[in-house]
Amino acid sequence: MHKIYFGVGIDDSMFDSFDEIVIERNFLTFYDVKKMIKDGVTSCCGNSHLAKINALKQRFGIDVSIADTDNMISLGYGDSIIVMKVRGLPRLTDREYTEEEIADAEFSFSLYTIVSFAIVP
């Protein structure tokens, strides 16, 4: 069964299992994301992402779990990751975002799926 993850970024280390891959990228609405999370995804978000995840919940009512530590994942064939991108929120280390900051921010979501791969001997 293919896995679906949720994160705030994508990293090359997520694809270490393969030498070459083809990734399909699709844009999602927050309605799509809310349904996918309700159906079950694995969060890659740790405490360092808490403020952004709280802003997502406040703005859209989407509740993503937070792990005690940032989860390192390795995507396999057919696996996907929902990536949340937020523009307009400052980096935070010591407080939560204000309602005004959240209202002014731009949230976008993409679904990256591994559609083919190669392992070179």
DSSP assignments along 84-104, one per residue:
EEEES----SSSPPPHHHHHH
Q: Considering the entire predicted model, what is its pTM?
A: 0.88
The residues, ordered by sequence, that sit 6+ positions from 53 with a Cβ below 8 Å of its Cβ are 45, 64, 66
Distance, in Å, from the CA atom of 68 to the CA atom of 50, rounded to the nearest integer, reads 11
The tens digit of pLDDT for each residue in 26-85 reads 999 999 999 999 999 999 988 888 889 999 999 999 999 987 666 678 898 899 999 999
CATH architecture of 4-118: 3-Layer(aba) Sandwich (3.40)
In the chain, pLDDT over 90 holds for what percent of residues?
A: 55
- pLDDT exceeds 80 at position 92: no
Q: CA 30, CA 60: separation in Å to the nearest integer?
A: 7
Of 120, 39, 47, 21, nearest in space to 82 by CA: 39
